[in-house]
Structure formats: structure tokens, C-alpha cells
């Protein structure tokens, strides 16, 4: 069993690793590697997923609709206990010709096995 400091250090390591994968554009890989099967997500626009399988499908569809990644910038990651918060800017050109520019905070709650059990997105713009 982790004491609080060991647990926080472990979550910091995991969150940093996950954020590095996301920053490379491998969003589906990050979900597959770090989400618990029962992980849920919610978005500031009202969309939600009920488990890892739904999130994997959602992110796969999204990734397939990207024509070009103009940039993904990780600004910072904070960890407090079993919660991490990561600030990103995402800039995509979509296959339909639209542009997506998101500046968002991703808050994650981690379980004792080092898996994300809840992820929530906040518009930071």
C-alpha cells in the first residue's frame, strides 16, 4: 500500500507519462493504456462516456476525422492526492475542412492501481 507521498509521486509519474502520449497525438493509445474498464468521462459541452470501451470508440472516431495536427501543447500538469489536472492546447485541421482549437483543462481521478477512473474536460479559453 502506498503512503500519501508515494501515491502522489506515482500518480505524478503516470499523469506525466499519459500527458506525453497525448501530446504526441496518440490519444487512443493513452486511453487504452491508462483508463480503468469502468472509467467515465464528461465534457463541458455535455457529452459523456460510461466506460473505457465507449471512450476508446469516441477517441478512435475523433482521431480518424483529423486531417492534420497543427499542434498539441502541454502547458502544465498538477497533482494533488489521486487527482491530476493537465492544461493543453489542441489545434487540429479536420477532414471536413473545419478547424478545432481547444484550450482545456483535463482533470483525472486515479484509482490505487494507477488507472484513470474519471476524466473531465473544462474549457480554459
**Number of folded domains that form the chain:** 1
The predicted-structure confidence for 22-51, as pLDDT tens digits, reads as follows: 999 999 999 999 999 999 999 998 999 999
pLDDT at 2 over 60: no
Question: For residue 79, what are the domain limits?
Answer: 4-123
Q: List, in order, residues 6 or more apart from 10 with CB less than 8 Å away.
A: 2, 114
Cα 27 versus chain centre, distance: 7
pTM: 0.89
Give pLDDT, residue 57: 97
CATH label of the domain that carries residue 10: 3.10.450.50
Give pLDDT, residue 124: 76
Amino acid at each position: 500500500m502506498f503512503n500519501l507521498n508515494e501515491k502522489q509521486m506515482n500518480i505524478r509519474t503516470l499523469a506525466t507519462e499519459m500527458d506525453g502520449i497525448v501530446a504526441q497525438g496518440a490519444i487512443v493509445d493513452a486511453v487504452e493504456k491508462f483508463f480503468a474498464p469502468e472509467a467515465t468521462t464528461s465534457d463541458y459541452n455535455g457529452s459523456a462516456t460510461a466506460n473505457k470501451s465507449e471512450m476508446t470508440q469516441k477517441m478512435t472516431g475523433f482521431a480518424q476525422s483529423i486531417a492534420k495536427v497543427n499542434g498539441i501543447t502541454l502547458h502544465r500538469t498538477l497533482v494533488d492526492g489521486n487527482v491530476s489536472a493537465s492544461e493543453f492546447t489542441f489545434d487540429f485541421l479536420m477532414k471536413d475542412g473545419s478547424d478545432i482549437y481547444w484550450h482545456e483543462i483535463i482533470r483525472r481521478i486515479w484509482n490505487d492501481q494507477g488507472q484513470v477512473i474519471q476524466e473531465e474536460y473544462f474549457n480554459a479559453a
